[in-house]
Structure 1
Amino acid sequence: MPLTISSAECQVAGFAIATIGWILSSTSMGLVEWRVWHMDDPSFFPTGLACVQMWRVCIYRHHTNISTAKFCHQYTYYDDFLPLDSRIAQHLMLLASVRGLMGRGFSIYALWNVYMGILQRHDACHSFVVSGTLNMIAGVCIIIAVLQNYYCITNLQGIAFLPSFQLSFKPDTQETRSAAFMASLGAFLMLLRGLFFLSYRFPPDIQVI
């Protein structure tokens, strides 16, 4: 029993790290600073900036010298102006969040078996493998979404927003900020711990049922 608990201690640390990664990636979905559009040319539309997220866009206009007007629009499935890459990113991040949550459940079950002395090799190892696989899938989904966001920024891809938004098809400049970096860190932690979960082995000298 002590050897089994000792061998699982690193998995407990891995569970904590993977949980932090899942929290970071899930939190990043609520942040708007995935793509920040800077609109500096007042020739056609008012100047300001827009934060383009996967589920909404927030537009900031310089109302006066000391105040800024803010307008946010939540995307719906009826918004046909949203490009395919944004739709894909939405589903990837949702899939990652669900798979990450499922991975937490399987890892809790595996650790519970080990610490309670239910030393069934198949059950514990199988749960760790499933948890690691789910973490890996979640991390890959997040990485794809982040890379897709980066590709859109570097290629200055635009979005045909509704005319009422008073946004040009493409900004003068655009950049990525905290949301994408937070998602990347979360994905890295989930991928790292997924590898450790997949590599879990029972101690060879432990008595198992």
Structure 2
Amino acid sequence: MPYLAHTANVQLAGFAFATVGWVLGSITTGLVQWRVWHVANSTIISSGIAWIGIWRTCFFSRVLVSPNLETMYCQVFSVKDSFVPPEIFVAQGLMLVAIFLGAAGKVTCAFGLKNIYQGTAPITVITHLFTAGGIFNLFAGVCIIIPTAWNLHSVVNNFSIDFPSTFHMPSRPERQEVGAAIAIGILSAILLLMSGVLFLHYRQPVIFDPKVHPILVGQDRCSDCWSITTNPKSYISARSSVDHIPNCGGITNEAFELDEKL
């Protein structure tokens, strides 16, 4: 199998992008700072700021938790709760799918790179592995960009959420801002999409015939040597017939003659 390590430099960078993107996507899934709500009534929400993620909502409260604002008061919600808006409902599912797809893409691409550097598989197998890994990363990036963009749209338009009374949250804030989770999620999606494109960009290298063909003795057309060595097409045409290959002072190697007879 030919040496292929130099053909996968771009794919090695793509694997780094996929790794960082997958880690950032996992962090985004668990963060609560998707939306930042600023509320007017600070009786319960002491700091006047509440954070809303795709799994829970949190805020500091001197009344419910700690007078020193050292601990957050959090309430968990899921897709079973009727008040959950569709952008959060979709985000819960797609972010989990993105994590699994990103992990599958990383494993597939890592196995392909292993075969590249160790030469343990045919080139066609490596190409298929890179193609599969690239598709996994592309789908993972799409699964992240959809919920982050949708929640970004909700923040920009100041959409409300009808929380139940047990959450001690208003249905609409005075104003809301984009949280760090959305920014991290967008960056994660970009890296995964770039990684997918780079892996799909891999092409099989052109493999030359490594066999050494001897030059026969008895030919006196040494003037053709220069034209053959400088013009590959003339070498190919001359190679088609052994009788037309010029000899420039070489001697016959019996090992080559034996190989030709075999």
TM > 0.5 between the two?
yes
More strand by share: 1
**% same residue:** 35
Which residue of structure 1 lines up, in the alignment, with residue 16 of structure 2? 16
- Distance in 2 (CA, whole Å) between partners of 1:14 and 1:44 is 47
Aligned equivalents of 1:99 and 1:132: distance in 2? 10
Letter in 2 for 1:10: V
**Counterpart code for 1:76:** S
Which residue does 1:48 correspond to in 2? 48
Q: CA offsets, 1:23-75, max 9 Å, x none? A: 01111111111101110246998762211100111122366996366210122
Distance, in Å, in 2 between the alignment partners of 1:72 and 1:11 is 42
Query: Partners of 1:166 and 1:129 in 2: how far apart?
Result: 49
Of 56, 66, 77, the match for 1:75: 77
* Contact 1:48/1:62, CA 8 A, preserved across alignment: no
Do 1:142 and 1:183's aligned partners in 2 also have CA atoms closer than 8 Å?
Answer: yes
Instruction: Measure the CA separation in 1 of the matches of 2:96 and 2:157.
Output: 25
Q: Which has the higher contact order (CA 8 A, sep 6+)?
A: 1
Q: Corresponding residue for 1:26?
A: 26
- Structure 2 distance, partners of 1:121, 1:142, is 32
Rounded to whole Å, the distance in 2 between the matches of 1:141 and 1:176 is: 19
Give the drift of 1:121: 2.5
Q: CA deviation at 1:105?
A: 1.1
SS in 2 for 1:40: coil
Assess, with a 3 A threshold, how the Cα gap between structure 1 residues 118 and 47 changes in structure 2: closer, same or farther: closer
**Greater mean alpha carbon deviation, residues 105-114 or residues 1-10:** 1-10
Any unmatched runs of 5+ in structure 1? Answer: none
How many residue pairs are counted as aligned between the two chains? 207
d(CA) in 1 for partners of 2:48, 2:90 = 28
TM-score (norm 2): 0.72
Q: Measure, in 2, the Cα distance between the counterparts of 1:128 and 1:25.
A: 21
> Larger Rg: 1 or 2?
2
2:233 — aligned with what? none
Q: Which of 132, 149, 163 is matched with 1:130 structurally?
A: 132
Give the match's secondary structure for 2:146: helix
**Alpha-carbon offset, residue 185 of structure 1:** 0.9
- Note if contact 2:60-2:72 (Cα within 8 Å) is conserved in structure 1: yes
Matches within 5 A, 1:57-76: 57-61=57-61, 67=69, 70-76=72-78
Alignment of 1:46-195 (within 5 A): 48-61=48-61, 67=69, 70-195=72-197
* Whole-angstrom distance in 2 between the partners of 1:164 and 1:173: 22
Distance in 1, Cα, partners of 2:20 & 2:191: 8
8 Å Cα contact 1:156-1:174 kept in structure 2 = yes
Secondary structure, in 3 states, of the residue corresponding to 1:51? strand
With normalisation by structure 1, the TM-score equals 0.89
**Deviations for 1:108-146, whole angstroms, at most 9, x for unmatched residues?**
121122222134122110110010011001111111111
Name the SS of the counterpart of 1:29 in structure 2.
Answer: helix
Q: State the alpha-carbon separation in 2 of the partners of residues 2 and 24 from structure 1.
A: 36
Structure 2 contact 41–48 (Cα < 8 Å) conserved: no
Distance 1:39 1:98, change over 3 A: same
Distance change (3 Å), C-alpha of 1:202 and 1:45: closer
**Residue by residue, what CA displacement relative to the aligned partner does 1:148-170 show, whole Å, maximum 9, x if unpaired?**
01111011111111112222111
Q: Which runs of 5+ in 2 are unaligned?
A: 210-262
Specify the alignment match of 1:199 in structure 2. 201
